[in-house]
Structures are given as C-alpha cells and as structure tokens.
Amino acid sequence: MFMFLKELANLGAPSGFEDSVRNFLKEHAVADEIYTDSIGNLICHKKGAGKKVMVAAHMDEVGLLITGITDSGYLKFNALGGIETAVLCSKKVYIGEKKIPGIISAKAVHLQTSDEMSTPLKFKNMYIDIGASNRSEAEKKVSLGDAAVFDGEYTPFGNNLVKSKALDDRVGCAILLELMKETYDSDMYFVFTVQEEIGTRGAKVASYNIKPDIALVIEGTTCSDVYGSMEHNQVTRLGDGAVLTAMDRAAISNREYFNFIVEIAKENNIKLQIKKTIMGGTDAGAIVTSGTGVKTAVLAAPCRYIHSPVSVMNLSDYESLKELSKLVCKNIERSGL
C-alpha cells in the first residue's frame, strides 16, 4: 500500500546531492522516456494527446553543508535549506557518501555565559563531533563541501502514524511513482526536481524547458496540531486528509483549478483540508511564473515537525493525497482549465 515511501525516506539526499534518490527513482519509474536535465531534475514523460501537464515533487531534503574543520577535529557547518537551530543540538547525522556518523553539539550549558544562555543558538556556535582527535584525523573521513543529513529512520508508531526524516518531500516522490503506473489522456510529465529547499532552482529549469499548460505540485507540508497550539493556528491537522493550498509566499493557486480539485474530492468522498496559512513556498512559485504563466495547484500531506530530524505523518492522509492526485490528473481534460 505504501510502496517506495520507506525506501525513499531512508535515502540521504540534501539539496545539491540528490543522486541516491534520483537513482532509485530511475530504477522504478514507468514512462515512455526518462531523462535527467542539466541541473539534475529527473523527467519522466508519458506521452498523450491532451494538455501538457507537469506533476512535480522535489527529491532534496534539508541538510547541512560542512564548511570547516577545527584543529581539534570538529566539523563546522551551515544549513542547506530552512532549519531552526533549536532542533539541532544532540541530534545524530551522517555525512557524505561514506555515511560517517556524527553528533551535533555546542558548548555545554555550564560553560556558557549568561548572555549565551539567553540567546538562541547560532550555526557558528555549533559543531559536529565525528570522534576525531584532530584535524588530520577528521580530514581522512570528511572533506569541506560534504553534506550531512539527519539520521532519522522511517518507523511506524502510534495509531497509523509514521515518523521519519525527509517526509518533505519523499511523500511526493513516492506518490509520483504510483501515479506513473496509471494511464492518462493528457501529455504527462512527472518531474522530480532538485534544490527545492534552497530556492526552487530545479523547478525553474524544468518548467522553462517543458512549458506545461497545467502543473500539480505534490508536497509534504506543515502540520501544527500540537500541544500549545490554539485551534486557529492549526494550519493543518493529521488525519483530516490531503491539504490544498490557496496561497503561499510564492504563488496563488489558479482559482478555477482550486475549485476543480475541491469538486473532485467531494465527488469521490476524499478527505481534503484547506491550508490555513500563507507562509512558506514550494516549487509552485517557480512554475506558476514560468514562460507565459502556468495554471498551478499544490496538494500535500500534513507532517508535524517538518524540516527537523524527524517528521510525523498519518498514513490515511498519504492515501487521500495519492487518490486525489490521481483523480485530478485523470480528469484534467474534462476540467475546462
């Protein structure tokens, strides 16, 4: 039922280092032609006679870039994507293709000044400990420019929930693989994009080259149904179904398209919730303004603790997202868009 999701979530692929995910997707993709463009997007084309439709999910996850090695063998780093330092201390990571294990840390509390204790941690005050005794020993394992990802294995828990790193957006990647098995009247481009987390760079290139008429972005998105969150601040909720975005900081969904998706969900009794915020951004921001403009919508699975070492998702929301995405793609030609 959840084919590919676990395998994809457990792969390490921060922005600019998407090879492992791209190789997995190539192996399992079903399309008339499959190719990688100049920036690294994987494009899977299922030929059709109707409108040109681009369905996108990004391969990359948030991570860390190694920017320095101290004389004592500790690694300095900065963020690849939007990560709050509050979630980092004492978290496990692995670095580079060799998956060198490390622990993120900072100066111990009892060694901090009163000013340091009252100020949020900054990246410059943190380091990764890989067990090296000095710079020379560390350099035998890690190089400047290597990337680190969180060590957060995909694990079922609770009532129909899973916890894992990188659900944003391995959820979308897994669903695209499932969608490719279907037949469509439209001319379908299933696009796995790179570098979404650092500025939707892959989507810019892909949409410019494909020139779609319509686009659907499939994502993992913020869920705030947690302790201490007032109901009006709970922008999405686990178990309430797929999420449809009206607007974010980078794009406004085409209103006809938006209403069409709502109609499809109602017709087929698929759970759907509307995202109650305009924060954030997705590949839609790059696609909607590409060329002469593209009618674009965003569907997502709600995930708690997104952009952290571990996110949480309800598998029923994943199922709603997959089924709704499939029906939207199958009915584009009758939509009048």
Output the CA–CA distances (angstroms, integers) from residue 153 to 3, 44, 261, 266, 282, in the order listed: 16, 28, 33, 35, 25
Instruction: State the Cα–Cα distance between residues 173 and 5, nearest whole angstrom.
Output: 8
Q: Residues 150, 14: contact at Cβ < 8 Å?
A: no
Question: Residues 18, 196, 197, 323: which is the catalytic one?
Answer: 196
| Contact assessment for residue 71 and residue 231, using Cβ atoms and an 8 Å cutoff | no
**Known catalytic residue at 33:** no
User: What secondary structure letter does DSSP report for 249?
Assistant: S
Nearest CA among 61, 58, 332 for reference residue 174:
58
Token pair listed for 242: 């797929």
Sign of the dihedral defined by the CA atoms of residues 306, 307, 309, 315, in that order: positive
Q: Using CA atoms, how far apart are residues 73 and 68, in angstroms rounded to an integer?
A: 10
Amino acid identity, position 337: L
d(CA 118, CA 337): 54
CA atoms within 13 A on the CB side of 104: 29
CA–CA dist 144, 65 (Å, integer): 8
Grouping H, G, I as helix, E, B as strand and the rest as coil, residue 203 is helix
Catalytic residues: 196
